[in-house]
Each structure stands twice: as C-alpha cells, then as structure tokens.
Amino acid sequence: MRTIQNGIEEKLETTIRTLQTDGPMTEEVKKKLATQLRSTKSAFDKLQTWVGLSQEVADIGLWEYDIKNNELMWSDETFRIWGYEPDEIVPSDAIFMERIHPEDRDKVRKKFKQSLEKNSEYHIIYRLLFPDGKIKFVEAHAVHFHKDGKPVLTIGTNQNITTHEIEKQEIEKALESNQVILDEIHHRVKNNLAVVAGLLQLQWLQEDDPVVTEKLQDSATRIRTIAGIHQHLYQSDSFANVALGENLEKLAKDLIKTMQQDVKVELKTNCDEVYLDFERILPCSLIVNELVTNVLKHAFQDQKGGVITIDLLKENNKVVLRVADNGKGLPDNFDEMQGSLGVRLIKTLNNQLQGDYTFRSDESGTTFTIAFSMDADYCKAV
C-alpha cells in the first residue's frame, strides 16, 4: 500500500522471481539493470537541473510544511529569496516569520489559518524586511493535503515580485500625478470659460438691440455649459466614465433657475446609469443645453407653467436621449428655420455622436430624440 494526495491509499502489486546468482543470464540482467539505472539517474539529474534553473529564472521558491511534525523544508531558491544560503540555516516557522515585515505578520498568520480551516488555496502577497532596511515583495500560493479529515501537509511556492510591485507603485504614482495635472487643467479651463461668459454677459447688458442681446446670452449660456462639464470632470473619479444623467440633470436645473421668469417650470428626469467619456459627454450636454434653452424661450409662452422631461435610456447597446415638453409645440414654419444656429449646432453634435436624430411636435408639446451607440469607437470628431 502507498498513500497519495488527500490521504487516499493505492494498492501496488509486486511480482518477485528468484534468479540464479551466477551464469550468463544473471550477468545480462545485471547489465540491463545498470544501464536502466544510469539512464534513470541521468534523466532525474537533468530534471532537477531544469527545475532549479526554472525556479532561479522565475524567482520562485518551493516549500513544504509537515504540519504534524512542524517541519519546514525550503528549496534553494526559497533560501535565496529569504536572504540565506541553503546550508546557512535550518528553515523553521520562527525564521520564516522573522523575515516577514512586522506590519504583515498578523495578516500572513490569519490568511494561512483561514485557508487551513476552509481547506482552500492559500494565496497572499506580503513584504520581507531585511536588517539593512531592504524590502522584498513575495507572492505565496499553497495547497493543503488531508488525512482522516485533518491537514497533514502543505506544499507551496513563494515568488519574488519586488520588481513588479515597484513598477506597479511607480505607475500608480504617475497616474495620480497625471490626475492632479488633468484636474488642474479642467479647473483652469472652467475658470477661463467663466471669465469669457462673464464678459459676454457684461456686453449684452450694454446692448439695446434685443437680437444682439439674445445672441450674446445664448453664447454665454453655451460657454457656461462647457465650463460646467469641465467642473464636473475634475470633480469625478474618472474622465473615461462620467455619469451622463447626473450631468444633464444638473445642467437642466441650472438653465431653469437662470432663465425662467413668470412661468413655473417643472423638471422630470428618468435616467438609466449611463457612463461615457469626455468626447461624448460634451456633445450630449450641449445638445440638451440647446433643447432646454429653446423650450424655456418659446414652449411655454402664454402659459402659467410647463413640464420638461429628460429621458436617458439604454436600449440594445444604444443610448437614447429624449427631451420633451408639454408646451405649445413648434411653429408651423419650423422647417424653414432649419438654418438657425441652434438647430445647426444640434445636427453637428448629433453627427459627432453618429446618432439618429428625430423630433415630433403637436399642440400637446414637442419631443426631440437622439440615439447613438454606446461603443466609443462610433464617436468621432468632426
């Protein structure tokens, strides 16, 4: 009988024959056995060499822990990772823990205990602290073997991942630095745009021509919208994934607060969780700016109040953006107004999104709908 992993026993059948101790047959058998033994030993030595070189190249050491007898065995590479020569010490739990960074020791013990209790794979990354202050990062993997329901043996690996961890930390620092720079850029752009919008506001306050005043006011509103997007970006965690619905709701509320006069306007929003990058957040926001501005200017004339509804939906890998009102509808000659700056801007921004643009209008109100792919590859600059 012999015991293999997890305490399972296997039967081995052995056949023994008596051979003569002399004679040509015996000599021939001896020669064959000697040849086979040399061949087996050569293959075993070669395998050992390969394993040793593989561990050295990969900076991976093997270890074995006899739980019952509390005996620890290390491969040569494990000794080197711990900073010892193979014949310098006898590995033990005390020597193992002594080299582990004091801040990581409790974590290592707790993780190993949990993996034993749950009979799960042991996996952890921890630090080694050397007398000269040098630090190494080690990633450990191990599996446990049981007999009669109790753990008796653990076999594992330790890999020196110091270079990888240092590079990872440097990348994280670089990303953090870039984030700070981008935050500052967006902050300054936002402030500069606010100055430009303020100058336009001063200009329209000095104008007597209502047409010029309206154009200046529209331009200032668009600039404030762009400034608001930059502010939203430097306050968010990621420039690549910005919550569109949150941005559009704030934009619409600001426009209603700024532009509504005698008419009470209610805003309703129904927004799915849609996250887009800056290249698509900007045109979506400007489109909503144009549509809501137009509603506030024209839809509720001669009415005591009105409702603006913004829907942002995800449908079959598409983003559907819908802005609706319950106003008096578009004028009959709307088709003749296709050349207005606002409509041209909406069309241009829709083309940038490679979207589908439709509208419906009657005496119960107007609905503008834009649908575009969620795939970033479909967004292109114009």
Q: Whole-angstrom Cα distance, residue 285 to residue 249?
A: 10
Query: What is d(CA 284, CA 290) in angstroms, rounded to the nearest whole number?
Result: 10
Residue 219, domain member (yes or no) = yes
Using a 10 angstrom Cβ sphere, with 0-12 exposed, 13-18 middle and 19 or more buried, the burial of residue 313 is middle
Domain boundary among 108, 137, 160: 160
61 beta partners: 158
Q: For the segment 241-250, what is each residue's pLDDT rounded down to a tens digit?
A: 788 888 899 8
150 and 274 both lie in a single domain? no
pLDDT in tens, 253-300: 888 887 766 778 899 999 999 888 878 888 888 899 889 888 888 888
Q: How many CB atoms lie within 10 A of CB 241?
A: 13
What's the whole-model pTM score? 0.51
pLDDT tens digits along 334-364: 764 565 767 888 888 899 899 998 888 888 8
The H or E element containing residue 74 is: strand 71-74
Residue 138's domain comprises 67-160
- Classify residue 144: in a domain, yes or no: yes
Count of structural domains within the chain: 3
Looking at the structure, tell me whether residues 354 and 272 fall in a common domain.
Answer: yes
Please check whether residues 180 and 304 belong to one and the same domain.
Answer: no
Structural domain contains residue 305:
yes
Q: Is residue 6 part of a domain?
A: no
Using pLDDT thresholds of 50, 70 and 90, give the confidence band for residue 98. Answer: very high
